[in-house]
Amino acid sequence: MLPSCRESIKTAVLLVPKFARFDRCVHTVRLKPNYTSVNYNVSRGGFAHLQKQHLYFFRDLLGEHRMISDTIELEKYNVDWFNNLRGCSSLVLKPKTTQEVSQILSFCNQENLAVSPQAGNTSVVGGSVPVFDEIILSTELMNKIISIDDTSGVVVCQAGCVLENLDTAVAEKGLMVPLDLGAKGSCQIGGNVSTNAGGLRLFRYGNMHGNVLGLEAVTADGNIIECLGTLKKDNTGYHLKHLFIGSEGTLGIITKVAIQCTTRPTCQNVAFLGAQNFRKVLKTFKLAKQDLGEILSAIEVMDSATMEFIGEKLNINSPIGDYPFYLLLETSGSNTNHDSEKIFKFLEIALNSHFILNGTVAVEHAKINALWSVRERIPEGFNLCGHLFCYDVSLPVENYFILVDEMKIHMGSLADRVFGFGHLGDGNLHLQIETKEFSQQIKDHLEPYIFKRTAQFGGSISAEHGMGFLKAKYLNLARPPSTVNFMKDIKQMFDPKGILNPYKVFP
């Protein structure tokens, strides 16, 4: 048996995407960030402080095993994914049922205790960690899949299901969750819905407002709002579910969702292309929409600075040599011959028209994953920077890259690197500014300038990441006062004491 064991190990090495082999052990030792309350000019709301009798209530409700108050264990929940923000909560609660969430919120509301709802804690705008000592309500134990209907394609599950696990479960029935993002192994569906997460396939399948058929949520006073319909058509009264989608846990905590899954594609192709300039990228994009039509499922772009970035941080290299712009294009369909005929014809035209300079195509799982990993693993490099200012903006496609060029000039020698990548199909740009360390001077030079320019270009200052804590103060830049006031009225109605996710979304 020994030789075959040896083989399986060797084969295992082969499974690592070929140009992504790198030493995962290269970690810089990172210090814990300062408390958010110290780093940012923000003052604590008039909430009650956690007392012994509160703890007794929670212990009676959940038992000791579903509460965390150990300082070291708490860190994971207090610090955000970027290691930039740090709350000082002293309690994590892990309910398993809607009833428990309701009882917790009802109690907190009555006692005036602030609550920070948390799913996978993968927010990049500080939406999922407490700012001060808010109680963290983690949905991680609410991970039951309630039903999967393989005829209608509707999955009903609890909010704490990890996206990837949910997708694996529905895959057994030939279905696919119409949402895919880099954080899929950690993020939870409840968080995805609360933040109206976008991701890699929004271009084809639309956002959560379209794909969530129903949900159940608990408002601040513990009231359970049941809109867990599984119907495609249901025009009975106000569509309340939409208020919870994208409101980032400020109106209520989502406890269950019903999602319309799509049929899992049986064949996929991925093309990785190199282009001379952004004008040609747009021409390729237009041609792809025309020639690939319904099978086009994702179209991503990245610039040469992004490729340099992942080369330097993660030792990932371009599979096709160096070009000013790279495009990743995916098709998903049900007939291999049909799809490959289409994609090869498209690529031939794009190449002969000089829209693209070079490229490669993957039709096998392993190579498809390897090409995707070039794009999906970019965020892994973020934590290996001195400091990275990240912006997530939507722009009309014709202005998509002008902002990156403009920021390069605007930053001058203040930044080590300015790079852009994103979901071209949705006009969603991830603009990153790398610096040696955090500096208020650099931040002031960036903000609100970058937001003002985005608005002038006809864009949105938060495309898919939400406002969270970090962008909250710019809400007034994005929306007129009457609209913001109306949002505040709604918040007041759902959560009069403001205990749910305070310091977030609103300035």
Partner 1 sequence: MARVLVGVKRVIDYAVKIRVKPDKTGVLTDGVKHSMNPFDEIAVEEAVRMKEKKVASEIIAVSCGPPQAQEVLRTALAMGVDKGIHVEVAGPEYETLQPIHISKILAKIVQNEKVDLVILGKQAIDDDCNQTAQMTAAVLDWPQATYASKIEYGSKEITVVREVDGGLETIKCKLPAVVSADLRLNEPRYATLPNIMKAKKKPIQKLTPKDLGVDTSPRVQIVSVEDPPKREAGVILPDVDSLVGKLKEGGHI
Q: How many CB atoms lie within 10 A of CB 179?
A: 27
Q: How far is the CB of 346 from partner 1 (least distance, A)?
A: 11
Residue linked to tokens 């939507």:
394
Q: How far is the CB of 323 from partner 1 (least distance, A)?
A: 12
Give me the sheet containing 212-218, strands edge to edge: 145-149, 154-158, 253-260, 212-218, 224-227
Q: How far is the CB of 281 from partner 1 (least distance, A)?
A: 16
Per the CB < 8 A criterion, the answer to whether 171 and 264 are in contact is yes
Q: Which is nearer to partner 1, 108 or 347 (CB)?
A: 347
Handedness of CA 295, 297, 302, 308 (dihedral sign): negative
Q: Which is nearer to partner 1, 159 or 310 (CB)?
A: 310
Q: How far is the CB of 13 from partner 1 (least distance, A)?
A: 6
CA 482 to chain centre: 29
Q: How far is the CB of 321 from partner 1 (least distance, A)?
A: 8
Q: Which is nearer to partner 1, 19 or 438 (CB)?
A: 19
Binding residues for partner 1, per CB under 8 A?
4, 7, 10-11, 13-15, 18-19, 21, 266, 272-273, 319-320, 344, 347-348, 351, 356, 358-367, 369
Q: Which is nearer to partner 1, 4 or 28 (CB)?
A: 4
Containing H/E element for 333? strand 325-333
Per the CB < 8 A criterion, the answer to whether 345 and 291 are in contact is yes
Tokens of 295: 């099978």
Integer Cα distance of 322 and 457 in angstroms = 29
Phi, psi of 142, rounded to the nearest 5 degrees: -95, 65
Q: What stretches of 335-401 show up as alpha helix (H) in DSSP?
A: 336-352, 365-376
Residue among 14, 16, 18 nearest 318 (CA): 18
Q: How far is the CB of 327 from partner 1 (least distance, A)?
A: 12
Beta carbons within 8 Å of 264's beta carbon, 6+ residues apart: 170, 171, 174, 175, 176
Q: What is the dihedral of CA 418, 422, 428, 429, to 10 degrees?
A: 0
Q: How far is the CB of 171 from partner 1 (least distance, A)?
A: 11
Please, which residues bridge with residue 137 across strands?
93, 117
DSSP state letter for 400: T
Q: How far is the CB of 480 from partner 1 (least distance, A)?
A: 48
